[in-house]
Amino acid sequence: MSLLTKGDIQASWSMHPLAMFAFAAIGYRIYQLIKLIKTSNHYG
């Protein structure tokens, strides 16, 4: 994933083909959590 963040897609794909899927899944999960935090009401 380090190579993918640096922009070296070819080397990243050759080392670990599922890294792009994992990176996308982690990014999507972070997006979901931020969206949940922004829409939840905090009482107290």
Task: Give a yes or no: residue 9 inside a domain.
Answer: yes
Identify which has the larger pLDDT, 31 or 42.
31
Over residues 1-21, the mean pLDDT reads 81
* Count: domains in the chain: 1
User: Is the pLDDT assigned to residue 22 strictly greater than 70?
Assistant: yes
Identify which has the larger pLDDT, 29 or 43.
29
Task: Give a yes or no: residue 17 inside a domain.
Answer: yes
Rounded percentage of the chain residues whose pLDDT exceeds 90? 25
Contact 26, 14 (CB under 8 A): no
Task: Quote the domain boundaries for residue 8.
Answer: 2-39
User: Is the pLDDT assigned to residue 26 strictly greater than 90?
Assistant: yes
If you compute the radius of gyration of the chain from its CA atoms, what whole number of angstroms results?
15
Tell me, yes or no, if the pTM score tops 0.85.
no
| Type of residue numbered 25 | A
Task: Give a yes or no: residue 44 inside a domain.
Answer: no
